[in-house]
Amino acid sequence: MFRKILIANRGEIAVRIARTARRMGVKTVAVHSDVDANAPHVAACDEAALIGPAPAAESYLRGDRIIAAALAAGAEAIHPGYGFLSENPDFVEAVEAAGLTFIGPPAAAIRAMGLKDAAKAAMEKAGVPVVPGYHGAEQDPAFLKARADEIGYPVLIKARAGGGGKGMRKVDRPEDFLPALEAAQGEGRASFGDGACLIEKWIVAPRHVEIQVFGDSHGGAVHLFERDCSLQRRHQKVIEEAPAPGMTEEMRRAMGDAAVRAARAIGYAGAGTVEFIVDASEGLRPDRFYFMEMNTRLQVEHPVTEAVAGLDLVEWQLRVAAGEPLPLRQEDLRIDGWAFEARLYAEDPARGFMPATGRLRRLRLPEDRARIDAGVREGDEITPHYDPMIAKVIVHGRDREEARLRLIDALEAAEIAGSTTNLAFLARLAADPDFAAGRVDTGLIDRKLAQLSAPPEMRPETPALAAIAALGLHEAAPAPAFDDRSGWRLWGAETREVALIGPDGAARAVRLQALAPDRFAAEGREIALSRHDGRLRASVDGGPARPVTLMRWSDAQGVVAAVIDGPATTQWRLPDPLESADDVAAGGDAAAAPMPGLVKAVFVAPGDAVKAGDALIVMEAMKMEHRLTAPRDGVVASVACAPGAQVAEGAVLLTLEPEE
């Protein structure tokens, strides 16, 4: 076994790899960019090396610096995690040329799966079913159209070099084929430098079922059963589970055998996933699954397999990379119970799942109810530089329903404030009746998007709780305190009006009366607070006392009050009495980033005269361009950004000279 490995990644996966390495007595070296110097993955490792500035292209994608760091630290092997360099065969070869071991498959196996057409051809040869279609070399448009007509519409055009859903076009009618082909070829050329396409039959209401495979360097290969990842949004997985609902032993054997054949055909070693698309229009049938692609790395969702198989896949990766044979044979592997994983992200479902940023003022994840694989801690800032994943919540139960109830319970017990998240969205999805019944397909989320992604619902007493938080009255009153607290007696018997700006941006006033410590009246309700094991509970009009967390903090824009009520967190701003004047001045003198994103162009320099409405800056966020325009006539005083800069939401990018 290795004495020391370098982990060429960040976030939850780097932390998770370090955890297994420590359990095995293997020392770890972290790599990090300059903004990640204090990140959890650095803390999780024994040593750390700085490899460059924040942009991944200058740090986590710099194979040369990572290899140099491994050599300098005396590491014997490099674990790539997922993403970044994990599926880059040139990196694998460079690692090996430096005399180090790559903890993953051989470069040739990665290359064999790199292009969709070559991968499909290799799989067909190995006897693995592939989606019916054309994946040959001939690219003449008329020829491809003739193939599409034969396959029958709808068809899917895929750029062979495509990934992440790019370069794919669904075509419903023959007359739309040629323009769609041109678009897919153009996208393939623009994004991947390769315009060649393949044509596939479109599978209606498909399910995404993938098989975990493992190979060793002695010719051994096994599968560790399936995961169902049908709950997707724009081809991104949201909740994954193992086993797949409705899976039969016959189908599992057929899919497992096909996946092992796929792995053997390309000389696979290490952890890999063979992704299949399943035509489930008539249930799961062994003749209705088709190879889609193979991911030649550890997957984000590997913990659901670990939960049901009772194994540590990172331990297997290390053992196999160190030259050991696979720890278990196929006949020794069993599925025990059911597992789910939910991906918790800093993003705003109500605004098209736009990535969110911000400081996590509170992040309490229920480690007592679920396995939590987190890459950030309370107090950390979510920046626009990297993937906005906060954590993966993984639960295991004896059967699907027990696991599902545990998932809901864990999501409802999480407490997050300071950044918008998809927590409430996940909790609603976990409670959805179709999901509960195991009726999953890749279109489920889109069909119910409006109800799933609506902002969290507020209880009638939430504004009153926000007012209590805004005044800091939830902080435990010292014992004899009521009389001693200066200020209280003055207004204790009277009402105090608390002005708040709600999560919807609307201003409201709450008339709050303190009746006694921890007892308040507001908006026609009486609220009693109590504390148990350091957790606050609130009872309304003598009803059951339910857990709630109240917080107050200040940031650059002023004071914020937060009410964390299960997965629903609402944040309220206290209007600054001087704000109306400030606001005009700020709005009139500055251009701030409306969202986190990339600065594409800056059209002005200090000293330039501008007219109201002139374009000043172009930003790109969510793959769309946004123009920031001059709020009034004036002269540019300062420019605080340059093209290529990543900026946070609210960052002031440009100021105008004050008006006389």
CA dist 84 → 97, 188, 297 (Å): 20, 20, 11
Give the pairing of strands 289-295 and 270-279: antiparallel
End-to-end Cα, the chain, rounded Å: 72
Bridge partners of 344, per DSSP, are 391
Question: According to CB under 6 A, which one of 17, 131, 311, 636 is a site residue for ligand ADP?
Answer: 131
Instruction: State the nearest-atom distance from the C-beta of 63 to ligand ADP, in Å.
Output: 23
Q: Which residue, 237 or 552, has its beta carbon nearer to ligand ADP?
A: 237
| CB 498, CB 468: distance < 8 Å | no
The answer to whether 299 contacts ligand ADP (rule: CB under 6 A) is: no
Instruction: State the nearest-atom distance from the C-beta of 110 to ligand ADP, in Å.
Output: 14
The answer to whether 273 contacts ligand ADP (rule: CB under 6 A) is: no
Q: Which two tokens stand for residue 27?
A: 């020392």
The answer to whether 128 contacts ligand ADP (rule: CB under 6 A) is: no
The answer to whether 203 contacts ligand ADP (rule: CB under 6 A) is: yes
| Residue 111 falls in the annotated catalytic set | no
The answer to whether 326 contacts ligand ADP (rule: CB under 6 A) is: no
Question: According to CB under 6 A, which one of 165, 174, 379, 606 is a site residue for ligand ADP?
Answer: 165
x/- string (CB under 6 A) for ligand ADP, residues 511-540?
------------------------------
Question: According to CB under 6 A, which one of 442, 569, 570, 655 is a site residue for ligand ADP?
Answer: 442
For 375-414, what is the HEC assignment?
CCCCCCEECCCCCCEEEEEEEEECCHHHHHHHHHHHHHHC
Within 572-591, which residues bind ligand ADP (CB under 6 A)?
Answer: none
The answer to whether 198 contacts ligand ADP (rule: CB under 6 A) is: no
Cα separation, 514 vs 495, whole angstroms: 7
The answer to whether 277 contacts ligand ADP (rule: CB under 6 A) is: yes
DSSP E strands: which ranges in 298-388?
338-345, 347-348, 354-355, 358-359, 362-364, 371-374, 381-382
Q: Which three-class secondary structure state does DSSP give residue 347?
A: strand
Active-site entry in 297, 371, 404, 406:
297
175 Cβ contact list (under 8 Å, min separation 6): none
640 Cβ contact list (under 8 Å, min separation 6): 651, 652, 653, 654, 655
The answer to whether 13 contacts ligand ADP (rule: CB under 6 A) is: no
- The continuous run of DSSP H or E covering 309 comes out as helix 302-309
The answer to whether 15 contacts ligand ADP (rule: CB under 6 A) is: no
Closest to 374 (Cα-Cα) out of 358, 386, 361, 363: 363
The answer to whether 105 contacts ligand ADP (rule: CB under 6 A) is: no
The answer to whether 117 contacts ligand ADP (rule: CB under 6 A) is: no
Question: According to CB under 6 A, which one of 235, 535, 546, 632 is a site residue for ligand ADP?
Answer: 235
Q: What is the dihedral of CA 634, 639, 644, 649, to 10 degrees?
A: -80
Q: Which residue, 203 or 621, has its beta carbon nearer to ligand ADP?
A: 203
Cα separation, 4 vs 15, whole angstroms: 15
Q: Which three-class secondary structure state does DSSP give residue 52?
A: strand
Q: What is the dihedral of CA 172, 174, 180, 184, to 10 degrees?
A: 90
Instruction: State the nearest-atom distance from the C-beta of 16 to ligand ADP, in Å.
Output: 23
The answer to whether 566 contacts ligand ADP (rule: CB under 6 A) is: no
Instruction: State the nearest-atom distance from the C-beta of 202 to ligand ADP, in Å.
Output: 5
Single out the segment in contact with ligand ADP by CB under 6 A; choices: 59-67, 154-162, 417-425, 643-651. Answer: 154-162
Instruction: State the nearest-atom distance from the C-beta of 18 to ligand ADP, in Å.
Output: 29
Question: According to CB under 6 A, which one of 74, 164, 613, 643 is a site residue for ligand ADP?
Answer: 164
Q: Which residue, 7 or 292, has its beta carbon nearer to ligand ADP?
A: 292
The residue count for binding ligand ADP (CB under 6 A) is 20
Question: According to CB under 6 A, which one of 81, 83, 114, 162 is a site residue for ligand ADP?
Answer: 162
Q: Which residue, 166 or 496, has its beta carbon nearer to ligand ADP?
A: 166
DSSP 8-state symbol, 632: S
Closest to 32 (Cα-Cα) out of 16, 13, 56, 12: 56
| CB 355, CB 388: distance < 8 Å | yes
Cα separation, 416 vs 364, whole angstroms: 7
Instruction: State the nearest-atom distance from the C-beta of 290 to ligand ADP, in Å.
Output: 8
x/- string (CB under 6 A) for ligand ADP, residues 451-490?
----------------------------------------
The answer to whether 651 contacts ligand ADP (rule: CB under 6 A) is: no
| CB 35, CB 10: distance < 8 Å | no
Q: Which residue, 164 or 587, has its beta carbon nearer to ligand ADP?
A: 164
The answer to whether 632 contacts ligand ADP (rule: CB under 6 A) is: no
Question: According to CB under 6 A, which one of 163, 246, 366, 397 is a site residue for ligand ADP?
Answer: 163
The answer to whether 293 contacts ligand ADP (rule: CB under 6 A) is: yes
Question: According to CB under 6 A, which one of 206, 245, 567, 596 is a site residue for ligand ADP?
Answer: 206
Bridge partners of 647, per DSSP, are 597
Is 68 exposed, middle or buried, given 0-12, 13-18 or 19+ CB atoms closer than 10 A? middle
Single out the segment in contact with ligand ADP by CB under 6 A; choices: 159-167, 265-273, 350-358, 608-616. Answer: 159-167
577 Cβ contact list (under 8 Å, min separation 6): none
Closest to 200 (Cα-Cα) out of 294, 292, 113, 295: 292
Question: According to CB under 6 A, which one of 82, 153, 202, 553 is a site residue for ligand ADP?
Answer: 202
The answer to whether 156 contacts ligand ADP (rule: CB under 6 A) is: yes
Residue closest to ligand ADP, measured at CB:
203
Q: Which residue, 292 or 411, has its beta carbon nearer to ligand ADP?
A: 292
| CB 263, CB 221: distance < 8 Å | yes
The answer to whether 153 contacts ligand ADP (rule: CB under 6 A) is: no
The answer to whether 292 contacts ligand ADP (rule: CB under 6 A) is: yes
Where does this chain bind ligand ADP (CB under 6 A)?
A: 131, 156, 158, 162-166, 168, 200-203, 206, 208, 235, 277, 292-293, 442
Give catalytic residue positions.
Answer: 297
